[in-house]
């Protein structure tokens, strides 16, 4: 485009060197944030923006749609631009990776940065998402975004960083195996209620070696399986699958505990109470 075309009043100014010819809401995040990274040297997408680019779970932010988080290393020149929230802090070269051609903080570094903004439970949920083993049949990858050791290493090299205390507390609670933030929050509520910690997505294998249900959370010793049912479980085909799953639990001699959004209110205490009833009926006692 010519300089004259760039000055056309129909183009929306989004900062020096950046113009928008149409609303950007329909564009993917990578396309929206790309100009703000390309016009500024030594920057990478970070914090909320990086978490979204990595598809990590996080609380909904109240920031403007066109505001983006960028990290800029200590010692770099000051940067003050519209639509950009700049974080100036220590940044190692191996803490930046390319995502669709954009420099973005690694999942481990993003997790640590988000400890400044989230609660401990939310940081645990994000950490669980980082270390979970993906399901290749549903996702385009077969390796975790990072390991628990990667998270620990990131903590160790950033002493004194904001949010570090919460990150350390969360790290002790992160587990490999959780497939969703809801499963993480349910697990935390169960343990907080004084119940034994459940296993995560471990299949039920009978003596003949046949693999059956794979409960979201389970207690094999007490033959109790816990299933978290999201909104998609209202779909007619999913309802049929859920009925079949329940029949299979009964045939195996297992108790199925079904948890939904309504059980997750009040810090998921209703969900924990429902699990307690099932465990008690199966023979579990406090202190056993």
Q: Residue 9: give the domain boundaries.
A: 3-171
Query: Where is the domain boundary, 110, 141, 171?
Result: 171
Q: Is the dihedral of CA 144, 96, 85, 167 positive or negative?
A: positive
Report the candidate in 44, 156, 65 with the shortest Cα–Cα distance to residue 110: 44
Q: Does residue 18 sit in the same domain as residue 111?
A: yes
Among the ranges given (15-29, 82-96, 231-245, 269-283), the one the predictor scored with the smallest mean pLDDT:
15-29
Confirm whether 75 is domain-assigned. yes
Give the separation between CA 129 and CA 140, rounded to whole angstroms: 15
Q: Provide the CATH number for the domain around residue 215.
A: 3.40.960
Backbone angles phi, psi at 254, to 5 degrees: -100, 155
Q: Does residue 161 sit in the same domain as residue 222?
A: no
Report the candidate in 147, 195, 194 with the shortest Cα–Cα distance to residue 174: 147
Q: Does residue 122 sit in the same domain as residue 163?
A: yes
Confirm whether 287 is domain-assigned. no
Number of domains in the chain: 2
pLDDT tens for 210-251 read 888 899 999 999 999 999 998 665 677 777 888 889 999 999
- Tokens representing 138 are 């549903």
Q: Which residues of 144-165 are buried (b: 16+ CB within 10 A; e: fewer)?
A: bbbebebbeebbeebeebebee
Please report, in angstroms and rounded to a whole number, the separation of the first and last CA atoms in the chain.
Answer: 74
Q: Does residue 192 sit in the same domain as residue 252?
A: yes
User: What is the value of pTM for the model shown?
Assistant: 0.88
pLDDT score, position 19: 67
Backbone angles phi, psi at 105, to 5 degrees: -60, 145
pLDDT score, position 182: 95
Confirm whether 80 is domain-assigned. yes
- Three-state DSSP at 116 gives coil
Confidence of residue 73 (pLDDT cuts 50, 70, 90): confident
Mean per-residue pLDDT, 156-170: 96
Query: Where is the domain boundary, 171, 197, 212?
Result: 171
* CA distances for 86 relative to 36, 75, 81, 83, 162, angstroms: 11, 13, 9, 10, 15
Q: Does residue 28 sit in the same domain as residue 105?
A: yes
Query: Where is the domain boundary, 149, 171, 193?
Result: 171
Q: Does residue 101 sit in the same domain as residue 196?
A: no
Q: Does residue 146 sit in the same domain as residue 197?
A: no
Q: Does residue 73 sit in the same domain as residue 127?
A: yes
Give the separation between CA 190 and CA 193, rounded to whole angstroms: 5
Confirm whether 212 is domain-assigned. yes
Confirm whether 263 is domain-assigned. yes
Q: Does residue 156 sit in the same domain as residue 192?
A: no
- Three-state DSSP at 192 gives helix
């Amino acid at each position: 485009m010519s300089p004259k075309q760039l000055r056309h009043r129909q183009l929306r100014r989004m900062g020096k060197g950046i113009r928008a010819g149409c609303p950007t809401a329909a564009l993917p995040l990578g396309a929206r944030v790309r100009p703000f990274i390309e016009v500024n040297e030594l920057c990478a997408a970070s914090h909320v923006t990086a978490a979204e680019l990595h598809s990590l779970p996080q609380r909904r932010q109240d920031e403007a749609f066109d505001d983006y988080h960028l990290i800029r290393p200590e010692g770099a020149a000051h940067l003050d631009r519209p639509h950009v929230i700049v974080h100036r802090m220590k940044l190692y070269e191996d803490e930046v990776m390319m995502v669709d051609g954009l420099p973005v903080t690694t999942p481990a570094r993003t997790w640590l940065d988000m400890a400044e903004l989230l609660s401990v439970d939310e940081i645990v949920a994000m950490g669980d998402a980082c270390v979970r083993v993906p399901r290749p049949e549903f996702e385009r990858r077969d390796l975790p975004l990072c390991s628990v050791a990667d998270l620990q290493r990131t903590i160790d090299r950033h002493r004194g960083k904001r949010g570090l205390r919460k990150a350390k507390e969360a790290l002790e609670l992160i587990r490999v195996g959780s497939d969703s933030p809801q499963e993480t929050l349910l697990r935390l509520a169960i343990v907080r209620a004084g119940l034994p910690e459940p296993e995560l997505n471990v299949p039920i294998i009978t003596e003949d070696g046949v693999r059956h249900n794979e409960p979201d959370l389970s207690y094999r010793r007490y033959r109790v399986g816990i299933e978290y049912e999201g909104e998609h479980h209202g779909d007619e085909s999913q309802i049929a699958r859920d009925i079949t799953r329940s029949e299979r639990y009964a045939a195996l001699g297992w108790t199925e505990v079904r948890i939904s959004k309504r059980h997750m209110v009040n810090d998921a205490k209703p969900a924990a109470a429902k699990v307690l009833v099932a465990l008690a009926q199966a023979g579990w006692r406090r202190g056993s």
